[in-house]
């Protein structure tokens, strides 16, 4: 009878090990923030106005497991009257790790409107599986003219990115929208990716 507590503890430890608790072995069907820099201080921004046909992107590489994409969060400034034509898409990567093909549109059912920096949640239009050890890019651009009074649509930037996924870089380029950018930039747009482990 005195060994029962020890036995219970041993069984619990074994069950936790088999279930793969922790970020190194994510639990199946559990939701995770794969990567994020939203907790970092804001540091500049990237313009998404169409005046210069600019396109911006952030990339992330998955850990060795598959995930179902639930949503992404982006920190944006979207002045009143400027939101129509703002497009965000998820791209896969080519063999060099650059944005390749659009997989799905990322959108929100609520209005993308804020004169100040705000985190917006965008969901994929179609169910999207993120595959183990693969790189993906969140690409944003605007296909309508500058906003009223010259106030620009902007994707706010931060710094360090943390998570069980790996930041794969940032890109920004003018006169390429609606195509993804190819030029690297040190500016890191603020984002988070939330997904369910499969």
Distance of CA 169 to the CA centre of its chain: 12
Length of the chain: 198
Tens digit of each residue's pLDDT (9 = 90 or more) over 98-142: 999 999 999 886 666 777 888 999 999 999 999 999 999 999 998
pLDDT at 116: 84
Please name the residues in contact with 100: beta carbons below 8 A apart, sequence gap of 6 or more: 91, 92, 93, 94
Within 8 A by CB and 6+ apart from 107, the residues are 88, 122, 123, 125
Instruction: List residues bridging with 158 in a β-sheet.
Output: 188
Query: Of 75, 45, 42, 72, whose CA–CA distance to 152 is shortest?
Result: 45
Specify the DSSP class assigned to residue 184: B
| Structure tokens given for 66 | 């598959």
CA 44 and chain centroid, separation: 18
The arithmetic mean of pLDDT across residues 6-33, rounded, is 56
Q: Does residue 86 carry a pLDDT above 60?
A: yes
Q: Is the pLDDT of residue 153 over 50?
A: yes
Mean pLDDT across 5-27: 46
Q: Which of 78, 128, 120 is nearest to 101 (CA)?
A: 128
pTM over cut 0.85 = no
- The DSSP code sequence of 132-175 is TT-EEEEEEEE-S-PPGGGPPPEEEEES--EESSEEEEEEEESS
Closest residue by Cα to residue 90 from 75, 105, 76, 68: 105
Domains, in order of start, for the chain: 29-197 (2.60.120)
């Amino acid at each position: 009878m005195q060994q029962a507590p020890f036995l219970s503890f041993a069984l619990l430890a074994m069950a936790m090990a088999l279930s793969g608790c922790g970020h190194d072995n994510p639990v199946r069907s559990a939701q995770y923030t794969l990567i994020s820099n939203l907790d970092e201080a804001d540091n500049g921004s990237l313009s998404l106005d169409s005046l210069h046909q600019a396109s911006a992107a952030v990339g992330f590489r998955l850990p060795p497991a598959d995930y179902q994409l639930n949503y992404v969060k982006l920190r944006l400034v979207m002045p009143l009257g400027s939101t129509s034509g703002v497009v965000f898409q998820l791209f896969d990567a080519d063999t060099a790790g650059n944005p390749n093909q659009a997989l799905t549109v990322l959108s929100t059912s609520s209005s993308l409107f804020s004169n100040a920096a705000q985190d917006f949640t965008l969901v994929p239009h179609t169910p999207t599986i993120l595959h183990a050890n693969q790189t993906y890019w969140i690409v944003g651009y605007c296909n309508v003219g500058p906003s009223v009074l010259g106030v620009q649509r902007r994707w706010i930037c931060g710094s360090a990115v943390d998570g069980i996924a790996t930041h794969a870089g940032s890109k920004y380029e003018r006169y390429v929208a609606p195509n993804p950018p190819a030029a690297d930039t040190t500016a890191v747009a603020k984002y988070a990716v939330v997904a369910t482990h499969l």
